Amino acid sequence: MLRQYELVDRVLGYDPKADEALINRAYVYAMKQHGSQKRASGDPYFSHPIEVAGILTDLKLDTATIVTALLHDTIEDTGSTMDELTKLFGPQVAGLVDGVTKLTRIELTSERSKQAENFRKFLLAMSNDIRVLLVKLADRLHNMRTLHFIASAEKRQRIALETMEIYAPLAGRMGIQEIREELEDLAFKELNPEAREALIKRLNEFREASGDSVKKIADEIKAKLEEGGLSCEVIGREKRPYSMWRKMERRAISLEQLSDIFGFRVIVDDVPDCYRALGALHTTWPMVPGRFKDYISTPKANGYRSLHTTMIGPQKKRAEVQIRTLKMHEVAEYGIAAHWLYKEGNEEDASGEFAGTFRWLRQLIEMLEHGASPEEFLEHTKLQMFSDQVFCFTPNGLLITLPRGATPIDFAYAVHTEIGDTCVGCKINGRHMPLRTRLENGDEVEIIRSQAQRPSPAWEAFVATGKARSAIRRSIRATKQAEFGRLGRQIVKSAFDAAGREVSDTILERALGPLRKSDVNDLLASVGDGTVSPQHVLQTVYPEDPAPKNGRKRNIKSNGKDERDGSVRVTGRASGLAIRFAPDMYPLPGERIVGIMMPGEGITIYPIDAPALEEFDGDTLRWIDATWDIDPDHPQTFPTRLRVTAKNEVGSLGHIATLIADYGSNISNLSLAQRDMDFYDIQIDIEVRDLKHLTRIMSALNGLSCVNTVVRPRR
Ligand code: MN
């Protein structure tokens, strides 16, 4: 365990202006707070925050970060409060500790997938201080180093998987390769110990067989470069088992085929020397085509710069070589931290306020915020497992995860079925948007509800989740069933009235057994949807009555108004799911109409003079009386069609359109056909309130000098 003075010395080593007293206070405070608590390893608990602080000194972090590391578990695991930390260590440190605590709580809450989502949310929410993430990374690294002390295998697996999927890629994204590789390897050890063991064993064999070739090759490369007048350092290194394993998996090759077990790093003084070294290597040993990459002229997103090449090197062995300056090397190992230290710190402004000028932190924030789209970010951090999902928020900040392509309706149903069922509109990021809008990552969605609302059948066409789809279907089925029930009740009453028979639920119950229905509502719904005829019900209840005949065209009652009791009410254009209009028939209020039972679908409404009705002439039992029942206080419009023959002269179409508008009607569709030189036919679809409205428009059109004839097409 790192001693107090050792920790302070390390920090002073790279930051002479560090607040020594603050670090000392935090060290002692953490020790006191954690008291006799123990780690799973049996070590005193306070060894953990101290080790975490030690890891962060490798990244040369500022005093606030080091102090935060020392205190990072005090709120969660000891009696410390924000107030106390603020008083003792200032608001900045207290805020950072609070951030780490929140991440820890997220970590502890739920199963794996949930955690990755929440983590991502937090990453975005907290990127205003990336030091929180750095402390969390170091915390995770130390926990991984001591993972084997945890008794529960399940818990070890969970932590290792999380490390592999979230923390290691995150470290990579931040350019901290050292930590990334160590995290990966520790996780690999837990997740796939057999593979790792096998790899290490084969590597040992390989190494023995080839002698100390790494050193020999490195020496030979160094000699060759110095011969060319370049001063350099050559580091030979074996790759970590996990990075080899990943390569083998990705390229589906065996260890024998893996050429890049050994990597070499050539460190030179400056950028021109990088290219000079490359030239010297390529003229000495043949390069492997397709493996050269110039990350100096085009650095990676995380700031990484180097030249990469692979050559058939000394001893005819393939060798991967990275050429870089010392500064590039430190950036590669320690991330943007090192980059910043070179750029702004040591040279010109060592006296400046360290904590305030950590510009690389801001750079990193910018990179996370703007440098990559969420998709790109997910890809880079190997969180592809979520790239087929979108993450949205309720106005209260609750995270809702949906499949890509999901709409606000899916969102509403994901929150609660009741919210989906009563959804009438939505605001996305504060703006009113259509319900079919596809949601994007990070959208805040507010659902507008009305208790009068029912799910619309049209929703089914664009929702993305099964939950929404089945809820919509369920609700439509229930609505339909209720409508069919109401309709069936009217139809049955009318049939019983016509036969001079009484009807009530008790009487109808007699038919339940014979007709195999579970209750009266079920029976009535079957009548409403046309699968059971009212005559059949009548016959079952009163078997002694003579059966009605199915024969020639029935005598439809003369005037719907007088017979309202027994007829089906048509309340509007969208009369619901049980009643619909025959296509292209355009019945209008004021016209006489009739319903035809369509088994399983309910009733289709026709104008009484529609020629199409002849089809049902022989099937009079399916005919149902129907009357309009339009609320005069809420006039509706109905579509209808006109055919106009007009003179082929300038402005005639304009006159017609203006007149229709003057009469308060809308044109919804219009098509023209030339009849001859003098006339043309216009088919106009318009919206009118009723037959009277239409008749007035037709008379007015007839009065135009440019109009020859106006008719409603025969239906
Ligand atoms: Mn911790």
DSSP assignment of 529-576 equals: TTSS-HHHHHHHH-TTSPPPP--SPP---S-GGGGGGGSEEE-STT--
Rounded Cα–Cα distance for residues 312 and 335 (Å): 31
Cβ atoms 423, 447 nearer than 8 A: yes
Rounded Cα–Cα distance for residues 263 and 244 (Å): 11
Mean pLDDT (whole number) for 345-359:
35
Mean pLDDT (whole number) for 294-308:
81
Mean pLDDT (whole number) for 269-296:
88
User: Around Cβ 441, how many Cβ atoms within 10 Å?
Assistant: 18
Cβ atoms 591, 608 nearer than 8 A: yes
Residue 386: pLDDT band (50, 70, 90) is very low
- Out of 76, 84, 344, 601, the active site residue is 76
Residue 501: pLDDT band (50, 70, 90) is confident
Instruction: Tell me which of 247 and 302 has the higher pLDDT.
Output: 247
Cβ atoms 327, 171 nearer than 8 A: no
Cβ atoms 464, 407 nearer than 8 A: yes
Q: Which tens digits make up the pLDDT trace of 122-136?
A: 555 554 567 788 898
Residue 238 has pLDDT above 50, yes or no: yes
Cβ atoms 266, 232 nearer than 8 A: yes
- Out of 20, 58, 77, 591, the active site residue is 77
> Residue 195 C-alpha to ligand 1 middle, in angstroms?
29
> Residue 365 C-alpha to ligand 1 middle, in angstroms?
23
Q: Could you list the beta-strand ranges (E) of 394-491.
A: 399-403, 423-428, 431-433, 445-449
Residue 326 has pLDDT above 50, yes or no: yes
> Residue 38 C-alpha to ligand 1 middle, in angstroms?
12
Residue 268 has pLDDT above 90, yes or no: yes
> Residue 21 C-alpha to ligand 1 middle, in angstroms?
23
Cβ atoms 568, 603 nearer than 8 A: yes
For residue 444, the number of C-alpha atoms closer than 13 Å in the C-beta half-sphere is: 7
Instruction: Tell me which of 383 and 676 has the higher pLDDT.
Output: 676
Residue 511 has pLDDT above 90, yes or no: no
Residue 337 has pLDDT above 80, yes or no: no
> Residue 135 C-alpha to ligand 1 middle, in angstroms?
9
Residues 6+ apart with CB under 8 A from 617: 552, 553
> Residue 40 C-alpha to ligand 1 middle, in angstroms?
12
CA 274 to chain centre: 45
pLDDT, residue 400, reads 76
> Residue 76 C-alpha to ligand 1 middle, in angstroms?
9
Residue 479 has pLDDT above 70, yes or no: yes
pLDDT, residue 25, reads 95
Residues 6+ apart with CB under 8 A from 481: 521, 525
Residues in the chain: 715
Mean pLDDT (whole number) for 293-319:
81
Rounded Cα–Cα distance for residues 84 and 124 (Å): 28
> Residue 54 C-alpha to ligand 1 middle, in angstroms?
13
Q: Which tens digits make up the pLDDT trace of 396-406?
A: 766 677 888 89
> Residue 35 C-alpha to ligand 1 middle, in angstroms?
15
Residues 6+ apart with CB under 8 A from 447: 408, 411, 412, 415, 419, 423, 425, 426
**77 labelled catalytic:** yes
> Residue 288 C-alpha to ligand 1 middle, in angstroms?
46
> Residue 14 C-alpha to ligand 1 middle, in angstroms?
25
Segment holding 174, helix H or strand E:
none
Cβ atoms 127, 176 nearer than 8 A: no
Q: DSSP character for 343?
A: I
| Token representation of residue 713 | 């097409």
Q: Which tens digits make up the pLDDT trace of 561-600?
A: 444 445 777 877 655 677 888 888 888 888 888 888 887 7
Residue 377: pLDDT band (50, 70, 90) is very low
Q: What is the pTM of this model?
A: 0.48
pLDDT, residue 591, reads 87
Least confident of 30-34, 389-393, 490-494, 667-671: 389-393
Long-range (24+ apart) CB contacts under 8 A made by 272-279 are 273/230, 273/232, 273/325, 274/307, 274/323, 274/324, 274/325, 275/307, 276/228, 276/230, 277/225, 277/228, 277/230, 277/232, 277/323, 278/307, 278/309, 278/323
pLDDT, residue 116, reads 54
Q: CA end-to-end span of the chain, whole Å?
A: 94
> Residue 331 C-alpha to ligand 1 middle, in angstroms?
26
Q: Which residues pair with 606 in a beta bridge?
A: 594
Q: Which residues pair with 644 in a beta bridge?
A: 682, 710
Residue 455 phi, psi dihedral angles, 5° rounding:
-55, 140
Residue 431 has pLDDT above 80, yes or no: yes
Domains recognised in the chain with CATH numbers:
4-191 (1.10.3210.10), 210-349 (3.30.460.10), 356-472 (3.10.20.30), 476-628 (no CATH), 638-711 (3.30.70.260)
Q: Which tens digits make up the pLDDT trace of 186-209?
A: 999 998 888 888 778 877 777 777
Residue 369 phi, psi dihedral angles, 5° rounding:
-80, -45
Residue 363, helix vs strand vs coil: helix
Residues 6+ apart with CB under 8 A from 381: 166, 169, 170, 172, 173
For residue 72, give the nearest of 60, 58, 54, 59 by alpha carbon: 54
pLDDT, residue 112, reads 46
> Residue 71 C-alpha to ligand 1 middle, in angstroms?
9
Residue 178, helix vs strand vs coil: helix
Residues 6+ apart with CB under 8 A from 304: 175, 295, 328, 331, 332
Residue 389, helix vs strand vs coil: strand
pLDDT, residue 653, reads 84
For residue 57, give the nearest of 337, 421, 278 by alpha carbon: 337
% of the chain surpassing 70 pLDDT: 81
Mean pLDDT (whole number) for 522-535:
86
Rounded Cα–Cα distance for residues 588 and 609 (Å): 12
Residue 9 has pLDDT above 90, yes or no: yes
User: Around Cβ 634, how many Cβ atoms within 10 Å?
Assistant: 8
What is the residue type of 496? F
Residue 355 has pLDDT above 80, yes or no: no
pLDDT, residue 507, reads 85
Q: Which tens digits make up the pLDDT trace of 536-550?
A: 888 888 888 777 666
Residue 412: pLDDT band (50, 70, 90) is very high
Cβ atoms 92, 67 nearer than 8 A: no
Residues 6+ apart with CB under 8 A from 116: 162, 165, 166, 383, 385, 386
Instruction: Give the per-residue SS3 of 264-328.
Output: EEEEECCHHHHHHHHHHHHHHCCECCCCCEECCCCCCCCCCCCEEEEEECHHHCEEEEEEEEHHH
% of the chain surpassing 90 pLDDT: 23
Q: Which tens digits make up the pLDDT trace of 432-448?
A: 999 999 998 667 899 99
Which CA distances in Å does 331 have to 3, 300, 360? 28, 12, 11
> Residue 213 C-alpha to ligand 1 middle, in angstroms?
41
pLDDT, residue 108, reads 56
Instruction: Tell me which of 87 and 530 has the higher pLDDT.
Output: 87
